[in-house]
Structure 1
Amino acid sequence: MSNKTVYLVTGANRGIGLGLVSVLAARPDAIVFAGARDPAAQSLKDLAAKHPNLHPIKFVVNDKANNEEAIAEIKKTAGQLDVVIPNAGVAKYVGPVSTTPPSEYRDHWEINTLGTIVLFQAAQELLLASPTGAPIFAYISTGAGSISRYFSLQATPYGSSKAAANFIVKALDAENPTLVVFAISPGWVATDMGNPGAAAAGLSEAPISVAESVEGVLSRIDGATKEKSSGRFWNFKPTFGGMPWDLDQDEIPW
């Protein structure tokens, strides 16, 4: 077993995922597996050339066989898995419930909700055997998945799929005494996924940079414990400004 921390980040070829693996790979005590549908993406090739501790691997969301193969590769290469960050997701439709095609709900739930379950089921044996004794499963959620703190983006396929995955987080926390599992909202981030919604809201781009989001997300993951962190829905950091998407607390209501 390695004395380094072994991470798996999905959706790692762009946006928040690429930001996360870029920061993690720069840590001398980390081994980072960057999961992407195309592990040969230029962004990952360039990063791996700089950091030999970064390993791009093929990861297809909600593909049971592929997820099991990816975990087997991690076990073969590193011998352990300590932190899983399910970041891969989809947000591709804006419109009212009255006209949203059922296929859009199905697509979002398949990726954002079921994909999280499939990943955990594939990773659980290796993850729960982590020599740290307190493995971490940190789901990248969204403030738009909060029911109590609802605000209308007219993106119900996305928001509802994330709210459902948040429920899975609560169940995993209850079912696994040693697993540190929680949801994190990364903020409304200026990425290929976040910017189209910003344009629909009349903004030039989403208000949070990738670097700012990544810093906040990792501040929740680093040092997380079962007692203080698990089974909760964390904000990447409090944000202020009075806009509907601003969340001025550390913890977001479910």
Structure 2
Amino acid sequence: MAQVYLVTGANRGLGKAIVETYLARSDVTVIAAVRDPKASTSKALESLPKGKGSKILLVKIDSSVAGDPAAAIKDIQAAGITHIDTVIANAGISDDFTPVTKVSIDAFQRHMDVNGYGTLYLIQAVDPLLAKSQNPKFVAVGSALGSISGMEQRAQMPSAAYGPSKAVVHWLIRKLHFENPGLTAFCVDPGWVQTDMGYFGAKTFGMEKPPTTVEECVKGMVSVIDSASREKSGGHNLVWDGSEFPW
């Protein structure tokens, strides 16, 4: 049975690189979820190099829109896809770096809508198709900034909007692991990467650029995802380099 991957936030940064990596393999279907399938960056995904027998399907998922994931699943099924093996919940925002005493309610809510609620919408929508996979995996992009027990390791970075939204993601994924014995659910922290989001953070803190390249990060993330099993990875907060960060 051909492997089917669904990647959200697929037309830029890490998402695009993940799509490109899997699409280059033979006999895979990559479902690229984007906010606007008509955008030039989205359409460009269809021209990416493909392995023998592989194909790509664009679907609309705006993580801030509650009904988008369920509507996308209907489109996926209409295209003849009957199962999904791996979901990579990559879409997210991080555009506010203020402390708890200064963060605006609007920024807090915006991050929670996209990162927190968006992940829950996706989990619930893909569940029926993941259940039809022989080895289903749900992978969410996590963050050290969402860690509670490891907070002292990132205490110098104000992230009162982004951090709590990722803490919600962490909780959902860990609980998903315990509630679904047939599913491998875990988080992967990409670290600080040279994407648009990463460069925004670097500029905010007076740095030239983030330390990790997209290529290096995605190579590590894909390796972690490919080798993941419920026994060794399920319910864990992993890092792109294969290490683990506390919840």
> Under a length normalisation based on structure 1, what TM-score does the superposition of the two structures give?
0.90
Identify the residue that residue 83 of structure 2 maps to in structure 1.
80
Partner residue of 2:24? 26
- State the 1:161 CA deviation: 0.7
The CA deviation at 1:124 is 0.5
Instruction: Please name the residue that 1:174 is paired with.
Output: 178
Amino acid at match of 1:70: A
Could you list the per-position Cα deviations for residues 117-156 of structure 1 after superposition, in whole angstroms to 9, with x for gaps in the alignment?
11111111111121x2x20000011121122222131122
Q: Return 36-45 or 155-164, whichever deviates more.
A: 36-45
Partner of 1:252: 245
Output the CA distance in 1 between the equivalents of 2:77 and 2:228: 23
TM-fit CA distance, 1:6: 0.4
Asked if the contact 1:74/1:81 (under 8 Å) is kept, the reply is no
Superposed CA deviations along residues 25-60 of structure 1, whole A, max 9, x for unmatched, are 111131001100112332332331243611121111
1:112–1:162: 8 Å Cα contact kept in structure 2? yes
Residue type of the partner of 1:138? V
CA distance in 1, matches of 2:64, 2:41: 23
Q: Please tell me whether the aligned partners of residues 19 and 210 of structure 1 are also in contact (alpha carbons under 8 angstroms).
A: yes
Question: For the Cα contact (< 8 Å) 1:36–1:56, is it kept in 2?
Answer: yes
Say how many residue pairs are matched: 239
Name which of 38, 62, 66 aligns with 1:40: 38
Moved more, 172-181 or 22-31: 22-31
The C-alpha deviation readout for 1:172-211, integer Å capped at 9, x for no partner, is 0010010100001011011111111111222111111111
**d(CA) in 2 for partners of 1:86, 1:69:** 16
Runs (4+) of structure 1 exceeding 6 A deviation are: none
2:108 alignment partner in structure 1: 105
Unaligned runs of 5+ in 1: 239-249
SS at match of 1:64: coil
Query: Which AA in structure 2 matches 1:84?
Result: V
**2:212 counterpart letter in structure 1:** I
CA RMSD of aligned residues (A): 1.4
Helix, strand or coil: the match of 2:106?
Answer: helix
Q: TM-score, normalised on structure 2?
A: 0.92
Task: Tell me which amino acid in the other structure corresponds to 1:80.
Answer: H
Report the CA distance between 1:15 and its aligned residue. 0.6
Residues 40 and 56, structure 1, Cα contact 8 Å, conserved in 2: no
1:194 to 186, 191, 198: 198
Which residue matches 1:139? 140
Alpha carbons 1:13, 1:41 under 8 Å: kept? no
Secondary structure of the equivalent of 1:138? strand
CA distance in 1, matches of 2:64, 2:185: 19
Which residue pairs with 1:61 in the alignment?
63
**What aligned pairs does 1:115-154 form with structure 2 within 5 A after superposition?**
115-130=118-133, 132=134, 134-150=135-151, 151=154, 152-154=156-158
Conserved in 1, the CA contact under 8 Å of 2:11 and 2:45? no
Does the 8 A contact of 2:190 with 2:239 survive in 1? yes
Residue identity opposite 1:63 in structure 2: V
Indicate the percent of aligned positions where both proteins have the same amino acid.
37
